[in-house]
Amino acid sequence: AVWGTIVNMEGVLSISEVTDLVIEFLEIAVHAILFVKGVYPAYLFERRRKYSIPVQMSRSMMLNDYIGEVLIAMRTWLEKGMIKSINVNLLDNPSDPSPSSPATTEPFQKFVFEILRLTSSQVGLSNLEALFRDTLTAISMCEGQVYDKSRELSFTITACTSNRASTATLPPQPADTAKADTIMCGE
């Protein structure tokens, strides 16, 4: 994700407006990853259009609210340029952990969205949307897997911060989204 000085037909967008666009994109990207990688069954998603392409979005209000709240909790840090990257980490959690297949917090796959701060160039809104569209298209082309009830997949959303960041308060995880978790990591 990129932001800095963004120009639309009405003029320059504020950092706050650009932050909103980045959060909206990240929300859509998280849903796309969860769908493509089979973290949840396909019937929990519906097809919508964004950035002139079809995208898959969860129909679960609890999951949607949770993802939205997590990203909104990162908003201030994003706006102040304190986040270096936002990662969506996929975890394989055996339903019956044993010594041969223990539960792990190490991701088997990670999607990293580097947050770059532009300082001198201007990016058109259409260019930003094209970047978002290209990224979502790349996610949709990732090798997916079919949802498997016997396999316990989960995900985390992590924000890697700069040294300037302080501890943030994140929303509590809803009980019915036990497959989701959020971690803030500072560097």
The residues pairing with 115 across neighbouring beta strands, listed in sequence order, are none
3-state secondary structure of 64: helix
* pLDDT tier, 17 (very low <50, low <70, confident <90, very high otherwise): confident
Share of the chain above pLDDT 70, in %: 65
Phi, psi of 104 (to 5 degrees): -135, 150
Residue 1 has pLDDT above 60, yes or no: no
Question: In angstroms, how far is CA 87 from the centroid of its own chain?
Answer: 7
* pLDDT tier, 53 (very low <50, low <70, confident <90, very high otherwise): very high
**Mean pLDDT throughout 88-111?**
71
pTM for this model (two decimals): 0.77
* Average of per-residue pLDDT values in the chain: 76
Range of lowest pLDDT (46-55, 83-92, 139-148): 139-148
Higher pLDDT, 105 or 167: 105
* pLDDT tier, 87 (very low <50, low <70, confident <90, very high otherwise): very high
**Mean pLDDT throughout 128-143?**
87
Range of lowest pLDDT (46-55, 91-100, 111-120): 91-100
**115-121 contact pairs (CB < 8 A, 24+):** 115/1, 115/2, 115/3, 115/22, 115/78, 115/81, 115/83, 115/84, 115/85, 115/86, 116/1, 116/2, 116/3, 117/3, 117/4, 117/81, 118/2, 118/3, 118/4, 118/5, 119/4, 120/4, 121/4, 121/5
Residue 171 has pLDDT above 70, yes or no: no
* pLDDT tier, 67 (very low <50, low <70, confident <90, very high otherwise): very high
Range of lowest pLDDT (85-94, 131-140, 163-172): 163-172
**pLDDT attached to residue 96:** 53
